[in-house]
Every structure is written in structure tokens, then in C-alpha cells.
Amino acid sequence: MPAEFKNEPLMDFNNEENRKKQSDALDQVLSQLGREHDLIIGTEKLKSGASFKSYNPSKKSDVIGTFQSANPEQAIHAIDVAAAAFEKWKRAPVQERANVLFRAAERLRARRFESNAWMILEAGKPWLEADADTAEAIDFCEFYGREALRYAERQPLTRIKSEDNELRYIPLGVGIVIPPWNFPCAILVGMTTASLAAGNTVILKPSSDTPATGAFFMSILQESGLPPGVVNYVTGSGASVGNLLVENPRTRFIAFTGSKEVGLHINETAARTQPGQIWIKRVIAEMGGKDFIIIDEDADLKEALEGVIVSAFGYQGQKCSACSRLIVHEKAYDSFIPMLADKAKGIKVGPATHPSNYMGPVINDKAMQSILRYIDIGKGEGRLVTGGRSLGEEGYFIEPTIFADVDPSATIAREEIFGPVLAVIKAKNFDDAVRIANDSEYGLTGSMYGRNRKHIDRAKDECHAGNFYINKKCTGAMVGVHPFGGFNMSGTDSKAGGRDYLLLFTQAKTVSEKI
């Protein structure tokens, strides 16, 4: 049995040696930019005749790489290959499957700075955020490897004298893994490794904004001894190749993380039975958020300030768990807003390649235009306290932006903006704060700062969020420690990094033998 699971520590970039290693890895990855990447289907590397590029959002003229737009025949071919590989992989001993994950964790540790570098360059992640992403990916490999072993153990059943009864968790079949760009390593790795640890085979369709980070993980899997065909790397647009893969009658499950709109579309598409289909497809869909932090009248405002800044502006607010609604008790409101504005004004924004920049760019031009449009809407809905502008021409930089005096019904208080924009709402009292927090179609993360024990206990009961925190930030869930997933339109509450997660990638078979 492997040692008890422990979270991977984060890299200390105050250490000069680590800074040097990260800079060297950036240089090494920079020298690999612009390459053409093929589809990887079984043992074959394939071109498609049509391609697209991914770019560095800190310096939009830099091409990260060229990638294939898989055509429909190639998507079907990938399903054929994954279905054939399933016949063998589902019979592979669980220890062998778990070992692939443990080796992948080792390889990620060995190539950690390189993994970080791909994300710094392709996703615009500041160093610390990129490193946290790689560390979480390592955690998923270690955690799900152990979980596969646990689910393969004899399961507890009520025993009767005349029978030997067993409950076995067996895999589902061919799954489609569709991750977003914002955790291009951790979420991609988490959904892929959970699928294959449980004995399924996978078609991995990375986000078109971060396909190089996906290609990097494919190289890790190959180094870890994963048999060909168990994970197939198929790039292309979500709306064409992604949709086709979801629709195919031989697809058994879809593991998706992304926006509400696409998640709902996938859910509906997967629910329509296709001719020849012999199962109800399973959809695991984790979607958007409109996450909140409540500041109660007796909160430690300094502590709250640190938590709000990290939650709202860490990785430019581009986390599903990012705080985008700050709900402040009226007695704390007037003192907190100037503190918040001052701190936000001091945030350094610039290329993610420079470790001194706290905020990097947003992911692409479409995101930038959408965020700026919300900022325009915000100007009519609240008082602009700081920020509001885009910065520079080289990359997609936006100032940390705060609107105060926002009504809970305002557009910027209801819709997911997915950028560095925070709406501050004044609450009359604690009851009002809880009501505002819950008045959302989403229910992903939330947090509360305060010291009143009765209020804390009530918030624990009443705040409707899949991940709820007290006196700490609302981002940064840790594998095994804070199983992660949201309520309502935030998704299926799959609780990634928790002990129920692997179940979603299996079906239970009861075997009863008379003795």
C-alpha cells in the first residue's frame, strides 16, 4: 500500500535557486514555441489538414504552437481506438493502473518547472498560480491512484450465511474529457486520471486556448508507461469536434469543466439517445460561479482584506471560485472600502513571465472585450472605486476593478464576469448578507469573515455553496482536504479531490454466489 496521501508543498520562489530553475525552464520552453503538434490517437500521430494556433496572452504576437483541428473521421477513429483499448485496460490489475498515476506524479515533480512554464506562457498564470496548478495535478495523481486501490478492496455488505456476496466497482467505457483553459494542468489531469484510474479509456479534448499544456501532460503519461489508446489527445473546436464526441452513441460518459452555457448544452446533447446507443450517458459537469465573501460587522478587517484581494484578483479573477460579490455589513462598509481600494491600487499588473507581477493578462481578446463590456455596464450600476481600464497593447491586461454600492439585482452582481472585477454590496445586517449571498443561480464557493459564533454557525448551515469557508479566502481548495464542486447552475457537485469522486467513473456490480 502506498503511504498516506499528503498534499504537494508549493514552491518557494523567494528561494533564489527555485527562481533560477523557473527562469531556466521558461527559457527552455520559449525555445520550443511555434512547433506543430499532432493528434495522438493510439500509436499514431496524425495531422488533419486544418489547424489553429494558441498564443501567449502576455504577448499576443507570440505563437505558443500550432494544433490540429481534428475532422469528424478522426474523432470517430479516436472512439474506435479508445473502445479497443478499453477491452484490455478494463482488465488491467488495479495496481498497474494506480502505478501509472504514481509514476505520472513522479514525472510531474521531476518536470515541475517546465509544467509551470507552459502555463505561465500559454495561460498567463503568474508563477505562484502556475506552480499551485502543477502541485494540484500531482495531488490528483497521488489521490486518485490511492482511491482506485481503495475502491478495488472488498466492499462492506450485510453478510448472510448461505451466500458469498461481493460489490465490485467496474469501469464505464469510453469517456470524453473536456477541460477549461483556466486550470489547464490540474483540471485536465484530475478528470483524465480519475477516468483511467477507474479503468476507463479517454478522448481528451483540451481547451483551444491551452492545448500545449495538454500536450505536455500527454508526454508525462507516455513517460509513465500508459499503454497507447488509453488516453487519446484530440484537439479542435469544442463546438465541432467536442460536440461530435459528446453525441457519439459509443461515448459512455463525459467529464466536463467549463461554462454554464456549454455545460448545459453538453448535458442536453448527452441526454438525447442516439440510434444504436445502449446506455444512458453519464455527465459530470462542473460549471461557473458568482462566488461571495460576507464581511460581518465584527470581522477582522485586515485578515478579510488579504482574503478578498487574493480571492478576487488572484489569477486575474479567472477562477470558478473567484470572489466576484463582496457583501459587507453596513457597520464595516465605510471603513473597509477605502482599505480595499488602496490595496487593489497597489497590485502590480504585467506579463506573467515576470515573478514580480501579481496579476497577469486575461486569457484572450474575446475575454478582454467581454470583461470591458461588464466594466461599462458596472459604471451604470455602481460607483467605480478603482481600476476600470485595460493596460498596454502587448497583452490582454486589465486593472483590478472594484465597484461599490452595487445592488444585488445588478447585472455585475448576477452574471459570471470571469475577470478582475469585484462588485461590493452593502448589507443591512447579517440576515440580509446571507439572503444576498444565496440570491444567485450559482452555488460554487463562498466565505464569511466574522467572530460571532452564532453567525458563524448559521452561515455554515444557511449559505448555499458547495465549498464554504470561514475566516479564509474562497479560492484554493486542496485535494483530499476540501473536495470541490458546486450546487445549482455551478454543476453536478462532483466533489473533485474527494472520496466520492471516483465512484462517478464506475458502475457497481453485485455478484452473489450460493455456498
Please give the residue ranges that form the binding site for ligand NAD (CB under 6 A). Answer: 178-183, 187, 205, 207-208, 238-239, 242-243, 246, 257-259, 262, 265-266, 286-289, 320, 416, 418, 444, 486, 490-491
Residue with the shortest CB distance to ligand NAD: 238
User: How far apart are alpha carbons 244 and 260 in whole angstroms?
Assistant: 19
CB closer to ligand NAD out of 268 and 431: 268
Q: What is the DSSP string of 139-207?
A: HHHHHHHHHHHHHTSPPP----TTEEEEEEEEE--EEEEE--SSSTTHHHHHHHHHHHHTT-EEEE---
- Those residues whose C-beta lies under 8 Å from the C-beta of residue 184, and which sit 6 or more positions away, are 118, 119, 122, 123, 133, 206, 207, 209, 210, 213, 214
The answer to whether the CB of 483 falls within 8 A of the CB of 495 is yes
- Residue 298: what are its φ and ψ, rounded to 5°? -105, 20
The amino acid that residue 428 corresponds to is K
CA angle, corner 343, sides to 341 and 344, nearest 5? Answer: 65
Query: Judged by CB, which is closer to ligand NAD: 7, or 243?
Result: 243
Instruction: Find the shortest distance in angstroms from Cβ 414 to ligand NAD.
Output: 14
> By the 8 A CB rule, do 496 and 485 touch?
yes
Interatomic CA distance for residues 131 and 13, integer angstroms: 10
What Å distances lie between residue 456 and 341, 347, 501, CA to CA? Answer: 27, 31, 28
Residue 387 DSSP SS3: coil
Give whichever of 74 and 490 is closer to ligand NAD, judged by the CB atom.
Answer: 490
Kindly tell me which of 121 and 287 has the beta carbon lying closer to ligand NAD. Answer: 287
Closest CA to 504 of 491, 495, 515: 495
Tell me the catalytic residues. Answer: 286, 320
Pair 445, 469: CB distance under 8 Å? yes
CA distance 255 to 502: 12
Distances (CA, A) of 179 to 206, 263, 287, 306, 434: 6, 11, 11, 30, 32
Nearer to ligand NAD, 129 or 297 (CB): 129
Residue 365: Cβ within 10 Å count: 12
Nearer to ligand NAD, 135 or 332 (CB): 135
Shortest reach from residue 285's CB to ligand NAD, in Å? 9
Cβ-based nearer residue to ligand NAD, 150 or 414? 414
Find the shortest distance in angstroms from Cβ 442 to ligand NAD: 9
> How do 59-68 and 445-449 pair as beta strands?
unpaired
Closest distance to ligand NAD from the beta carbon of 245 (Å): 7
Question: What is d(CA 60, CA 296) in angstroms, rounded to the nearest whole number?
Answer: 42
Q: Name the minimum Å distance from CB 478 to ligand NAD.
A: 14
Q: Cβ-count burial of 222 within 10 angstroms (0-12 exposed, 13-18 middle, 19+ buried)?
A: middle
* Residue whose CB is less far from ligand NAD, 98 or 189: 189
